[in-house]
């Protein structure tokens, strides 16, 4: 069974550029979560969707960050413009709605120079 798929696995970009991270949740899961992990702040929830609808985006750090879920099998997290402090590993996770077990993807390591 395919788990959560994230792309790209690594992204190196320059400050000011737009970055788009992609996620395909596990088929049948109807909750999707975006997290950011850094050494300083640990694993932080950015936003999550239930049935493709954003439920809580209070963790999104700034207006530079946006997330969409156009359908049940795809989500994007966009940073525009990117800054060096956005460098982190970004994880996508999915679950069945109402079930607390989340399945994480392998993450995207973002480096903004």
Residue 68 parent element (H or E): strand 65-71
Asked if 53 is part of the footprint of another protein (rule: CB under 8 A), the reply reads no
Pairing verdict, β 10-13 and 108-112: parallel
Cα–Cα dist 39/16, whole Å? 23
Should residue 34 be labelled a site residue for another protein when binding is judged by CB under 8 A?
A: no
In what order do the strands lie in the sheet containing 65-71? 5-7, 19-24, 74-79, 65-71
User: Which residue of 24, 46, 105, 110 would you call a contact of another protein, by CB under 8 A?
Assistant: 105
- DSSP state, 14? -
The region of 15-23, 50-58, 61-69, 70-78 touching another protein under the rule CB under 8 A is 50-58
Q: Which is nearer to another protein, 82 or 94 (CB)?
A: 94
By CB under 8 A, is residue 97 in contact with another protein?
A: yes
Among the listed residues 69, 93, 110, 112, the single contact to another protein using CB under 8 A:
93
Distances, alpha carbon 28 to alpha carbons 57, 81, 99, in Å: 23, 33, 13
What is the three-class DSSP state of 1?
coil
Q: How far is the CB of 33 from another protein (least distance, A)?
A: 8
The residues that touch another protein, with contacts defined as CB under 8 A, are: 4, 31, 33, 42-45, 48, 50, 55-56, 91, 93, 95, 97-102, 104-107
């Amino acid at each position: 069974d395919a788990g959560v798929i994230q792309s790209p696995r690594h992204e190196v970009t320059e400050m000011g550029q737009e970055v788009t991270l992609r996620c395909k949740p596990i088929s049948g899961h109807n909750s999707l979560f975006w997290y950011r992990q850094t050494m300083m702040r640990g694993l932080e929830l950015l936003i999550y969707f239930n049935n493709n609808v954003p439920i809580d985006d209070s963790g999104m750090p700034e207006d530079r960050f946006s997330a969409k879920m156009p359908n049940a099998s795809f989500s994007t997290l966009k940073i525009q413009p990117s800054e060096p402090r956005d460098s982190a590993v970004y994880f996508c996770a999915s679950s069945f709605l109402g079930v607390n077990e989340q399945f994480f993807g392998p993450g995207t390591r973002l480096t903004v120079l």
